[in-house]
Amino acid sequence: MIDSERRFFLKKTLLLCLVTMVLSLVLYGSVLKGYYLKAFPLQLAVVTLVTIISHLKLMNAVQQNARKFSTTFLSVMSIKLFIYLVFIIICLLMDRKNAINFVTTFLIFYLIFTIFEVIEISNFLKRNQNSSN
């Protein structure tokens, strides 16, 4: 069973994904008409899924053993970056002519979701620290 804090994070993440998709589609339909990539939905799905999994893993680490959080954080981020690297390499090998568009779109998604995740984990750590005091 998912507790209310995790459920709230999932809702916020899916809302961010939906808003990002709508804004991107509006931009691709108007200003960036010639730059739409078929891999766009896959990029957004991969970044969203990896963000959800990594954040839930970090939440579990804090609740199980807060002292090991740093180690868990570094290992989760390393695995996350490796997954992204493999995804980027595979996609670029399949479609080299759109490499700049692909990498630019991916980096924008990465920044959006990383900023979101940092804010969320910081807030979670503050709440968890306050509840333990």
42-101 confidence digits (pLDDT tens): 999 999 999 999 999 998 888 888 778 889 999 999 999 999 999 999 999 999 999 999
Predicted confidence (pLDDT) at residue 133 exceeds the cutoff of 60: no
Predicted confidence (pLDDT) at residue 127 exceeds the cutoff of 80: yes
12-44 confidence digits (pLDDT tens): 999 999 999 999 999 999 998 888 888 899 999
Q: Return the DSSP state at 44.
A: H
Cα 27 to the center of its chain, rounded Å: 21
Please enumerate in sequence order all residues whose Cβ is within 8 A of that of 10, keeping only pairs 6 or more positions apart, or say none.
2, 52
Q: What does the pLDDT read at residue 17?
A: 96
Spell out the domain ranges in the chain: 37-132
pLDDT band at 132 (very low <50, low <70, confident <90, very high): low
**Cα(51)–Cα(46) distance, integer angstroms:** 8
**Model confidence, pTM:** 0.89
CB 110 within 8 A of CB 14: no
Predicted confidence (pLDDT) at residue 116 exceeds the cutoff of 90: yes
